[in-house]
Chain A
Amino acid sequence: MRTPRLRTGTLAARLARTVGVLVVISLIVFLALRLTPGDPAALLLGPQAVGQPGYKIELANLHRQMGLNYPLPVQYLIWLKGILSGNLGNSNQNGEPVIRLLAGAAPPTLFLIGLSLAIAIPLSIVIGTTAAYRPSGIADRFVRALADLSLATPTFWLGLLLVILFAVRLHLLPATGYVSPLVSPMQFARSMALPVVTVVVYLVGVLTRYVYAEMCEVGAQDYVRTARAMGIAEPTVLFRYALRNALIPLIAIVGVQFAALISGAIVVEQVFGLGGVGQLMLQGVVLKDYPLVQGGVLLITILVTVVTTLADLLYRWVDPRLT
């Protein structure tokens, strides 16, 4: 198979666009946090401190400490300067570097999303293709009912059900917590099993419908008939000749789903106490921890852009007409 060539120009253009997106997003986050009501310093001191002697001075000191005494543009530039030197600032809550907090929270989130996609994509392809091969057959009806059911099931609810069944009743798997694969691969697998199943059920519901619809359309194309007319076996026709065409829109959908998952994972992380990026961000938002939220959004933006770029490149690899 010939590998389609990629023009360096396309790559450079994409990269430039990525940087532009990052700048815009960083501005939005920066402003959104500061223009919404609530003072992080006041939150940190707590409501009971209001009106106590020396409260005003303490507040002013804290503002200076957090760099909130500067005008907004200056604050933004200070933050940007920090980013360029690899410093995302320190968390307001405990003074820990944001970078270290994020580095600790990223693995559970990435493993959750990565493993879920790695399982859900092939699964959806097989289910969707099989259903499309015999529309209005039993498999088809079953698959569509299942897809509807999985879409209608809230992930937190399914997560809780799984916890009740496998952790509380059967004592097979831990209910919450995350164990790094470096510490114990076995414990890691056990800690990820339920969260991954929860996300996979949702993803399969979404993706199967797309695979099904695409395969139905591709299956009616002339070139599929040509392959059949040449005596190519049906599994090869479906999973090789037809599937590759159906993958083209699927790649775009997976790219979008990845972005949705990063923020959507908050709920699942919370239910299973994984301590991922989502959970960390939630804390940060509640406590108006500017540096933490800014750093987290930056990380998510970078991840999403990387994945969209990858999807774009994959696109060109699957569809030679695009190069």
Chain B
Amino acid sequence: MSEQEKVLAPLLEINNLAVSFRSGRRTVPIIHGVSMRVAAGERVGVIGESGSGKTVTALSVLGLHDKRRTRYGTVSAIEFGGTDLLRLPPKDMRKLRGGDIAMVFQDPATSLNPVFTIAAQLLPVLRIHQNLSRRAAHEAAVAALAAVEIRDPVRVLNSYPHELSGGMRQRILIAMAVACRPRLLIADEPTSALDVTVQATVLDLLSELVTESAMSLLLITHDMGVIARLCSYMYVMYAGRVVEQGPVKDLFQSSWHPYTRGLLQSTPRMNGPRPRRLATLTAGQSDLQPDVSITGCSFASRCPYAIERCYTEVPVLASAHHAASCHRWQELVASGFAVANSLAPTPSAAGGQDSD
């Protein structure tokens, strides 16, 4: 499977993306050279904790950052079907948005305009990208809502967002996104704000829609389970960098980076032996301070395997199909991630006193 995917031409190719935001007189680097590829029809997941730069990366693809405050790296490029999106004129970018590239956002409660009916928000999208008449757009809207399994599309079209449930709203946002048959769908934590029971149905729906219209999917999440369910390839982000990339199967079987490993171990599983206590990652926050990130691995302060080198030298991510940006990954994998040095956290620091 992995060899097969390598052959496919990339639809989206993010090359060495560096993003920094200006805040007052300071410029804060957020993304430090991220590269990703999404082939046509491929489903790629991006995982990472809050502030790791997943959403910033996705918004860069659509050019949705505030232009006045955003600086991209000089060697950064986001190629989509052969054009560099970072250097695309705003007019052309706008045509791509909602047309060839669509996005589903995290919070359905705030992502729909509260003072407009669903029809007033959905119809213009259809009319802009498909040049439909009012009536044709209305029919297309009904069909789009039916496609996301909304039972009474005509009534829902005449509803205001506050009259609908969270699951319905997310379905509507998905319908808006896929209505114009995009080639790439970016879903930014599409289920994080939903009830657990609704999450599964929305994920299944997304999966179906992507398969049906042969879309590529770039799925952003902090939930390993969501990646396992939907994606074939994944990127793990930490503090504005990709720390590990590889086929989902490979990563779940054998992750190379201590952070990925920590994430997987802290995910509760339904099958297999039940651990006495769920593993956790050491507390701490990904540090966005530029001077700190330059001097070493940004995960070092939380890493149980960190050695001196980790604080002085930034590890590089190889461009291999499965790769990790860690100085010690080979020896760690070979040793089965045995905690082998004094920098390891004590159990109390790692676990806390959680009740079961």
B62, B103, B114: which contacts A223 (Cβ < 8 A)?
A: B114
Nearest CB in chain A: distance from B127 CB, A: 10
Q: Beyond A245-B115, A320-B115, is A232–B128 a contact (Cβ under 8 Å)?
A: yes
Q: Beyond A236-B124, A319-B115, is A222–B110 a contact (Cβ under 8 Å)?
A: yes
Q: Which residues of A contact B269 (CB under 8 A)?
A: none
B98, B115, B160: which contacts A230 (Cβ < 8 A)?
A: B98
Q: Which residues of B contact A227 (CB under 8 A)?
A: 113, 121
Query: Within 8 Å of chain A (Cβ to Cβ): is B214?
Result: no
Least CB separation from B100: chain A residue: A231
Query: In whole angstroms, what is the CA distance A227 to B103 when docked?
Result: 11
Q: Which residues of A contact B68 (CB under 8 A)?
A: 134-137
Query: Within 8 Å of chain B (Cβ to Cβ): is A17?
Result: no
Q: Which of B27-35, B76-84, B89-97 contacts A (4 or more CB under 8 A)?
A: B89-97
State whether A222 touches B158 (Cβ < 8 A): no
**Which B residues from 120 to 145 make CB contacts under 8 A with A?**
120-121, 124-125, 128-129
Query: In whole angstroms, what is the CA distance A39 to B296 when docked?
Result: 88
Query: Within 8 Å of chain B (Cβ to Cβ): is A1?
Result: yes
Query: Within 8 Å of chain A (Cβ to Cβ): is B111?
Result: yes
State whether A231 touches B94 (Cβ < 8 A): yes
State whether A318 touches B120 (Cβ < 8 A): no
Query: In whole angstroms, what is the CA distance A236 to B125 when docked?
Result: 12
Query: Within 8 Å of chain A (Cβ to Cβ): is B99?
Result: yes
State whether B103 touches A241 (Cβ < 8 A): no
Nearest CB in chain B: distance from A247 CB, A: 9
**Which A residues from 204 to 263 make CB contacts under 8 A with B?**
221-234, 236, 241, 244-245, 248
Chain A: interface residue total (CB-CB under 8 A): 29
Q: Which residues of A contact B176 (CB under 8 A)?
A: 226, 230
Q: Which residues of B contact A236 (CB under 8 A)?
A: 124
Query: Within 8 Å of chain B (Cβ to Cβ): is A2?
Result: yes
State whether A226 touches B173 (Cβ < 8 A): yes
Query: Within 8 Å of chain B (Cβ to Cβ): is A7?
Result: no
Q: Which residues of B contact A234 (CB under 8 A)?
A: 94
Query: Within 8 Å of chain B (Cβ to Cβ): is A321?
Result: yes
Nearest CB in chain B: distance from A82 CB, A: 46
Name, among A221, A227, A231, A233, the residue most crowded by chain B CB atoms within 10 Å (CB to CB): A231
Query: In whole angstroms, what is the CA distance A233 to B173 when docked?
Result: 18
Nearest CB in chain B: distance from A124 CB, A: 20
Least CB separation from A230: chain B residue: B98
Q: Which residues of A contact B173 (CB under 8 A)?
A: 226
State whether B160 touches A320 (Cβ < 8 A): yes
Query: Within 8 Å of chain A (Cβ to Cβ): is B70?
Result: no
| Residues of B bordering A, CB below 8 Å | 62, 64, 68, 94-99, 102-103, 105, 107, 110-117, 120-121, 124-125, 128-129, 158, 160, 162, 173, 176-177
7 contacts between A and B (CB under 8 A): A1-B117, A225-B64, A225-B105, A226-B176, A229-B103, A230-B124, A244-B115
**Additional A-B contacts beyond A231-B125, A244-B115 (5; CB < 8 A):** A226-B113, A232-B128, A241-B116, A318-B115, A320-B160
